[in-house]
Amino acid sequence: MRLLLLACVGVWACCVGVAGQGTSRSGRVVYLNQHLYPSLLYINSAAGSTAVDSTRAADGDSNIIQLILYPATSDPPPARNATVVLGGGTAEGKLTLTQEEPPLGPTKIEGVITGLTPGKHGFHIHELGNLVGGCVSAAGHYNPYRRTHGSPMNIDRHVGDLGNIEADATGTAHVNIIDPLVRLVGPRSVIGRAVVVHEGEDDLGQGGDEGSLSTGNAGGRVACGVIGHA
């Protein structure tokens, strides 16, 4: 029975995906296919509305579906907000994260970071919100789908790959990023994880070596902070 249910869900998700794009609030299905990541099928359990955040598997052969239930409501989910206070190194700053249309909408990351050397600096979300041992305790890039490191514009990338920020001659960087993979709700939420600023430029996976495909060769960590509810 369980296998049959999973098979039916997979077929249903593929079928509704063909129907086109829309929103669960208007009675249509949202089917997003711009990223090669496992699907997230959101079901409003009481009202029966659905939304699909769907992408094909890495090998292109099949879809992976996750079912997530959330309480029924007649209104769209409210915007979610988070904040990060950066420190722990030579740089410092504060960031705010806003997801205007959860659970599927993109997240905006904005703020100001000071104390940097002029130029580009790798900017990532790391897996752990553990800073007991300094920024190194945050572990590696947040990568729940086990992809290689890349540009935030790439299909194949870590969820935490946010590219570079650029500091001016005074060492100040103004951050203004909108990212389609970063979420503040659901099983892949980044709340409780860490933002890390690196001393060097992220080569975006184009460096031609193993380090490039895992870290972008961005060097040491000059600031970090845990993403918390705002």
Residues with a catalytic annotation lie at 124, 126, 141, 149, 158, 161, 198, 221
Q: Which of 124, 63, 113 is nearest to 90 (CA)?
A: 113
Q: What is the DSSP annotation of 101-153?
A: STTTS-EEEEEEEESPPSEEEEEEEES----TTSGGGG-SB--TT-PPP--TT
Paired residues of 180 in beta bridges: none
Query: What is the C-alpha to C-alpha distance for residues 150 and 153, in angstroms, rounded to an integer?
Result: 8
Query: What is the C-alpha to C-alpha distance for residues 139 and 102, in angstroms, rounded to an integer?
Result: 27
In this structure, what token pair is assigned to residue 127?
């897996």
End-to-end CA distance of the chain: 43
